[in-house]
Amino acid sequence: METSYYLAVDLGATSGRTVLAAFDGQKVELRELTRFKNPMIPMSGHLYWDLPALYYQVLQALKRVAEERIPLVSVGIDTWGCDFSLFTADGRLASLPYSYRDAHTEGSMEKFFARVPAETVYGHTGIQFMEFNSLFQLDTLKREGCKALEMAEKILFTPDALSYLLTGQAVAEYTVASTSQLLNPSTGDLDAELLAALGLPRGKFGRVVLPGTVVGRLTPQVRRYTGLPELPVVAVAGHDTASAVAAIPTVDGDFAYLSCGTWSLLGVEMAHPVITADSFRHNFTNEGGLDGTTRFLKNICGLWLFERCREEWHDAPSNVAELAATCETSSYEGLIFPDWEGFAHPLSMPQAIRDYCGRTGQEAPQTPADYCRCIFRSLALRYRQVVEQLRTMVDIPIRRLHVIGGGSLNRHLMQYAANATGLPVVAGPSEGTALGNALVQIRTAGGTDSLAGMRRLSVASVDTVTYEPSGSPEWEEAYARFSRLQVQ
């Protein structure tokens, strides 16, 4: 079979990359073309994303493809969830999109629940409650009289906004739309009652499309700028976690998965949503996956804790792996609850951790090594807690934990996760999101015919590392302490 090529645009909430996927019929090989930062822009008292800059980076990658004369089959874009862009009737960007880290949604859930009860919202969507969900972002903008929202004729989630700029076609890809707390999984469309509560007509949002749908083709302007032909843009699994989960290298379903990066998303793959009193009480979410599957999972504040601390450790090793390894030189025993609200967007993450330790009667960490040990061990214990909650709500046998994303390269966190959960941890691929993005494009082009086929290709294409649990009683004692801390 002649090798075919696909461009995966993979945008995270701190950085982005474009990856060229080469498929020879048996396996997929990835080559990073470009990598760039995606900073939040502090401006006028708010935090924004620079969507035009991200679009420019996509164009530059397409230009490079043309310059290298790569016979590209298609392009696909995945990003983080919840955030959206506003466009006027003539296709112009009405304003820079807000970042989900912006504090303007603080207290927004309670204001919305005064009109629509929380139980009703969860019953219609099955999505966990977080103040930055699109539902609450839109309600905040509406209440504050946002002029850009008033002018907007199109409200497009981030991957769909970039596809719109490339093709002129407005869609709402299913997996990213499911993160918004606006999608009703029973109908497969945006929920009419919630839209009515927002005072927004359905027509302002693109039509819902499933992963693998061809959104459109590059516009004449994009073709002139890049030098490429009329290439199709494919709606992949637009939510980065959905793309990553699609690329899990496995041939069975007896596992939980952990997408490990800025966020840790831990869950299982289900044939249907789980919307019950228990899932509501534990605030679990039902996000869309491929082939009608549901990603039943919990969002956990992940390596954001570590990344934000690194920004202030000017005397610590600059190499991430070297810095992470310092956790083994510390004997610090303090723990934090990673999802404490004070860790969401503090001015100083080390100070927030010290504050938490003070609130819980613990000695504060003193060195970067102490902080690393505290963060990694606390995350591992949170993973155990979520796995135990999953086991009470689903009947899937969880015999191992598959870890995908950049965090899978952190061998210390991976071993801690195995020790804490008592499960073998299968780490890799680290570039699972880009691989899943490419696999959806390959499937669209006829290279495979199912999600199972995509995962068989992943097994053939990637290497993994398995970490076995140690079974040390130290972890049982640590978990008991962790369980008492979380209410603070």
Q: Any idea which residues carry the catalytic annotation?
A: 240
Beta strands in 282-430 (DSSP E): 285-288, 294-301, 401-404, 425-427
Helices (H) and strands (E) in the chain, counts: 19, 21
DSSP 365: P
The phi, psi pair for 259, rounded to 5°, reads -90, 110
Helices of type H across 154-207: 158-167, 174-177, 192-198
- Give, for 72, the enclosing helix (H) or strand (E): strand 72-78
Tokens linked to 331: 């004997």
The phi, psi pair for 69, rounded to 5°, reads 55, 45
DSSP 486: T
The phi, psi pair for 325, rounded to 5°, reads -65, -20
Contact 62, 223 (CB under 8 A): no
The three-class DSSP label of residue 2 is coil
The angle, 0 to 180 degrees and rounded to 10, between the axes of the packed helices 411-421 and 368-393 is: 40
Distance CA(407)–CA(413), nearest Å, equals 8
